[in-house]
Structure 1
Amino acid sequence: MATYLKETYMISITRACKVIRLPKSMFYYQSVKDDTEVINKLLEMVVLRPREGQDKVYQRLRLEGYSWNKKRVRRIYLKLGLNLRRKTKKRIPARVKEPLVQMVRPNQTWSMDFMSDALENGRRFRVLNVIDDFNRKAVTVEAEFTFPSFGVIQCLKRAFEEQGKPSKIRVDNGPEFTSLEFSEWCRVQEIELHYIQPGKPMQNGYIERFNRTFRQDVLDAHLFSGIDQVRHIAEQWMDDYNYTRPHEALGGITPHQAEAKFSSKQACLDEKTSYSKQNKVHLNSV
């Protein structure tokens, strides 16, 4: 205040201090306390244990042999703003990069991801897309307003009844996929979960390519009035995608034709194996 009066009204410090009744010695007072050590120690402890408050920090300081009193610790604690709620980042385990390879059979690996959009009234909804990496078949496309991990589990259960169970599912690090409930359910089902590295969506390139097509053909092409309309259009599009739309990655055939081709080839191999075994038994008997 004294500095403000001096600079604004061009008066001396002595007169400014008299106006606001501030002792001149207090104006020139400079603290000789050095709180650098306390500040560094508090910041170090907060980084290591972000959930602990002031009292717990002070107790730890005492146990470690520091003699700073509680008032000093509290003053610096508040000055640093450590009494405010701190957001802690959820630590994600290290993810291993796995190259995208062409699968050799159905239900070997599924890819799964979420998309989001809004209805005509502005209400947001989410779409869960699941495809089979072998023939890019759309296993399921389900739209809901909310999609917790329990909803993902129920969606996969219905898909298992129609398509069978995969050996592995590739997902990103979304909270629905990293939840304990979902990971434990996959462990019980003997399904391996492969998480891509954070910030590397192309490690899940098959589903990303599928999402692009789905957004262009469905989400960006329609203005939805309700969630039921989203489900109806998505179901019609999925039938076209699986049964009539040719895929360059499959040599110009549909996912359904690729699956039928594999089944026919597998049947021939099984027939040859069976015939070979019968001849071997016959020769041994002779």
Structure 2
Amino acid sequence: MKRKRHSPEQIIRKLSSAEQLLNQGQTVADVCRALEVSAATYHRWQQLYGGKKATEANRLKELEQENSRLKRLLADAELDKAMLKELGRGKLLSPERRRRAVKVLLDRFRVSQRRACRLAGQNRNTQRRPVPLADIEEQKLRSRIRELARSHLRWGRRLVYRRLRVEGWEVNHKRVQRIWREEELQRPLPRKRKRARRSDGSRTLLRAEYPHHVWAIDLQFDQTRDGRRINFLNIIDEYSSVCLAIRVGRRYKAVDVIAAIEELLGQYPAPTHLRMDNGPEFIAHALQEWCMGNESGTAYIPPGSPWDNPFVESFNGRFRDKFLNIELFASLAEAEQHRIEYNVYKPH
């Protein structure tokens, strides 16, 4: 049997009738039978509404309704505040950004589309309109730009633009710059550039005049995940700025340098000169004898003058900034990918 629900006014009227019956000498049980309620219900009504009038009950009901309305308003305000924090700072200027913001609110907060559009400032007709083909291409371009920015942390928008042109994207630099700003991609941290020292004029530096005229060789140091030291042997063709080789090892001696050069001779002609510093692996007799046997001259830079070997030093700086400072090596065989990327994929 379905239980009958009483309003506060009905309860107060029944309690008034019960009071009259009690004054006539009837018992509580007789009153409960007359009111068609149980004794527990009667005592509960007496505890809640005893001594009140119908106007007071109406006022109590209005206060309860006002309290529930204020609670809903506060909950809605807190939800709107949380959704605004989710959207982040800045204005949503374009319809496409507002469309994506509405989708985020719908997925994460499970609110209605009407409420999400109102909060993002988006017209509901615009939100429901099918995405044009141009917008689909724009989304693909944005996705590719974000992918390049994630995989190349030290690249700026200019390098990303050049890479897109190499890949065949018909896009100009202003469009890439606009998307770069809208996506709030991280800008590379500025590096302090050291001012190169000029030669005093007492000696003339050898300049490369054709490919494989001068090879610049240098060693660079880093460490693996276990803290052990590793050496990078970098070989650069000064005329074309091509990285011919990056060899990795725990230690490098003169015989290792000779082996790396002879491995390159299977792909390139022998260099006319080798530009190196005065490290023990470069001034060894074995390397000098090899140069004499292959008719390659040596161009040693003065001690403590790295600016006299500018090509390989510039490569070393970029190699450390864009690769060594980002990657954590677990083995020795992970550096060759940078040479391939530097020579083939990176836009110059």
TM-score by length of 1: 0.50
Flag the structure with more relative contact order, 1 or 2, with Cα contacts below 8 A and sequence separation at least 6: 1
